[in-house]
Structure 1
Amino acid sequence: MFDPTDLYRLSGEVPELTDPVLLYHFEGFVDAGGAGRLAMGHLLEELEHRVVATFDVDRLLDYRSRRPVMTFDTDRWVSVESHELTLRLAHDTTGTPFLLLTGPEPDREWELFTAALDALATRLGVGRLVTVHGIPMAVPHTRPLGITGHASRPELVSGQTSAFGRVQVPGSVAALVEFRLGAKGHDALGYAVHVPHYLAQAEYPAAALTALEAVTRSTGLVFPLEGLREAADRTDTEIAEQIGASEELSTAITGLEQQYDAFAAGAERENLMAEPAEMPTGDELAAQFEAFLAERDERRGD
């Protein structure tokens, strides 16, 4: 029997905390618009933090499926960008401490990893675990972004509506953490932000903003969001410019708006999941937006 605590190493003095929230996001699973990645990256950039524990990525990752980037200079290797799966201690804008777990999604030993996180959460007195990510939906960016909440106890996301019934989907470590730790008595919940399907492959700051606002409502943590709001406003302005220059895109977005409004007025839930009829597919819309965003990035680089 392997000891799950062998999967991580504590760094420095173990903090004395009282029911801290543990936010977590693993890169590699579905994350439309980069909602979870941008949200966690924003917090790490804006808030001071220190490492509490690091996980053994040599055991958890398949390097041949996610090869680390190495730099070759003239006649020798000079650096390697090693993967890190790290738990950090940060403080929100009110000084409230919370924990932040980020890094690549483990490729192997999922059950042992969840057991290790259970042991670590218990040792640190974690009161609630929360995860966020984005999922692609047939919704327009001109309407408020929806959220699907899920939790180990229904009351943790009371008042939330869902666009889904009973479905089977490929699993993820984030979902397994909620399932396993919830069964062991931890409060665990998550939010899936509904990202317009044509923006799923682009960075969409509005999705990250929506995710962090949902975390604030459920945990009371207060984050510095001004920079994220500005990024979301800039992106929305650029998207509006792209749509205004294309009659095809304008027609497609109008169709999505009508579909969304019909749903909001009480139409069948399945409408949000279906491809819009007689409109460009999500892939076609995404390709047009990706071309626009790539051209925008080139202009910025120049």
Structure 2
Amino acid sequence: MFDPTDLYELAEDVPELSDPVLLYHFDGFVDAGGAGRLALGHVLAELEHRVVATFDVDRLLDYRSRRPIMTFDTDRWTDYDSPRIAVHVTEDTTGTPFLVMTGPEPDREWELFTRAVGTLAERLGVSRLVTVHGIPMAAPHTRPLGVTPHASRPELISGQSSSFGRVQVPGSVSSLIEYRLGAEGRDALGFAVHVPHYLAQAEYPHAAVAALESVTRATGLVFPMDALREAALRTNAEVEEQIQASAELLTAINGLEQQYDAFAGGAERENLIAEPVQMPTGDELAAQFERFLAERDED
């Protein structure tokens, strides 16, 4: 049997930590609005951090399925954007140490990688593992974003409800970590932020705000949020500008608002899928927003 510790390399000066939380997100799986990527990217951008472990991406990634970027300048190659899966140590605004694991989702050796994360968590004394990402939902941006919690033990998310029953979905490494390590007795949980389906392909900072707020409630970690909240306000203002300029979009959003309010008010409905009304599909709404964002970038 392969040794999972061969998949990663520890830094020489790994600190002694006291039951740190490990936040993690991998690029490649469903992440509507970039909720997980923006959330953890914001954390690393705002807080001083250093790498304590790196994984062997040559064993884990299929480069031909998602080729790294290389830079060619005139007559030679000048740069290579080497992919990296790394664990960083940092501190929240109260001085509490915690860990952040980011990078591309592994293409290969999921089971070995999951065991490697488990051994690394044991080595670093991790108390619980927490992941976040976004999922598209038929809900308007004018209403509070929903969040679906999930955990290896119900007590970790007590008092929080889910919009889902039993469903089967494509797997992910993030989910497998929670499932396998939870079965071993580790505390693992996550939060799926409900992102308006017409904004799923764009960056939606409001979803990252909801993700980090959920992490704070679950772990007590406190993050610097001002810059992220300001970005969320700007994005919502831009979205509202686009909607007000289009009678078709305004009608569609009004329809979503009515359906959301009826669902939230307890009307009998299985989920947030809309009743039959005359309005654009999610793809059509997204296409209109993409055109708007493209025109804004050109300006």
The C-alpha deviation readout for 1:94-113, integer Å capped at 9, x for no partner, is: 11000000000000000000
Higher mean displacement: 58-67 or 265-274: 265-274
User: By how many angstroms is 1:269 displaced?
Assistant: 4.4
Aligned-partner Cα distance in 2 for 1:105–1:79: 23
**Residues 211-250 of structure 1 mapped to structure 2, 5 A cutoff:** 211-250=211-250
The structure-2 alpha-carbon separation of the partners of 1:294 and 1:156, relative to structure 1 and needing over 3 Å to count, comes to same
Contact 1:38 1:208 in 2 (8 A): yes
Question: How far does residue 161 in structure 1 lie from its aligned partner after superposition?
Answer: 1.2
Residue in 1 that maps onto 2:15: 15
> Residue by residue, what CA displacement relative to the aligned partner does 1:47-96 show, whole Å, maximum 9, x if unpaired?
00000000000000000001011111122111100000000001000110
Amino acid at match of 2:216: T
Could you tell me which residue of structure 2 aligns to residue 94 of structure 1?
94
Shift of 1:147: 0.2
Amino acid corresponding to residue 158 of structure 1 in structure 2: S
- The yes-or-no answer on 1:106 pairing with 2:117 is no
Distance in 1 between residues matched to 2:268 and 2:179, nearest whole Å: 29
Where in structure 2 are there 5+ consecutive unaligned residues? none
- Deviation of 1:172 after TM superposition, in Å, equals 0.2
Cα distance in 2 for residues equivalent to 1:221 and 1:289: 34
Aligned residues of 2:193 and 2:207 also touching (Cα < 8 A):
yes
SS in 1 for 2:223: coil
Q: Does 1:284 align with 2:277?
A: no
Q: Secondary structure at the match of 2:13?
A: coil
- After TM superposition, give the deviation of residue 279 of structure 1 in Å: 1.1
Aligned residue for 1:45, secondary structure, equals helix
List runs of 5+ in structure 1 lacking aligned partners.
none
1:31 maps to which residue? 31
Are residue 139 (structure 1) and residue 139 (structure 2) matched? yes
| 1: CA distance, partners of 2:244 / 2:274 | 25
**Residue aligned with 1:272, SS:** coil
State the distance in 1 between where 2:245 and 2:271 align. Answer: 27
Aligned length: 299
2:201 aligned residue? 201
Tell me by how many angstroms 1:186 deviates: 0.7
The range that moved more, 197-206 or 285-294, is 285-294
Query: Would you say the 8 A contact 2:256–2:274 is kept in 1?
Result: no
Q: Percent identity?
A: 78
Q: Contact 1:68–1:82 (CA<8 Å) still a contact in 2?
A: yes
TM-superposed CA distance for 1:119, in Å, is 0.1
**Alpha-carbon distance between aligned partners in 2 of 1:285 and 1:275, rounded to the nearest angstrom:** 17
Relative to the length of structure 2, the TM-score reads: 0.98
Pairwise CA distance, 1:267: 2.0
- What are the superposed Cα offsets for residues 261-290 of structure 1, whole Å, 9 maximum, x if unpaired? 000011234340357632100000000011
Change (3 A) 1:176 1:73: same
For residues 223 and 44 of structure 2, the distance between their equivalents in structure 1, rounded to whole angstroms, comes to 11
TM superposition outliers: structure 1 runs of 4+ over 6 Å: none
Name the CA distance, whole Å, in 2 between partners of 1:142 and 1:42: 23
Q: Report the counterpart of residue 177 of structure 1 in structure 2.
A: 177
Match of 1:273 in 2: 273
C-alpha displacement at 1:206, in angstroms? Answer: 0.1
- 1:81 counterpart residue number: 81
Indicate conservation of the 8 Å contact 1:275/1:282, yes or no. no
Please tell me the residue identity of whatever aligns with 2:265. Answer: A
Cα RMSD over matched residues?
Answer: 1.0
- Does the aligned pair in 2 maintain the 1:49–1:89 contact within 8 Å? yes
Q: Which amino acid aligns with 2:71?
A: T
Asked if 2 retains the 8 angstrom alpha-carbon contact of 1:255 and 1:276, the reply is no
Contact 2:4–2:113 (CA under 8 A) maintained in structure 1: yes
Q: How has the CA–CA distance of structure 1 residues 39 and 298 changed in structure 2, closer, same or farther, with 3 Å as cutoff?
A: same
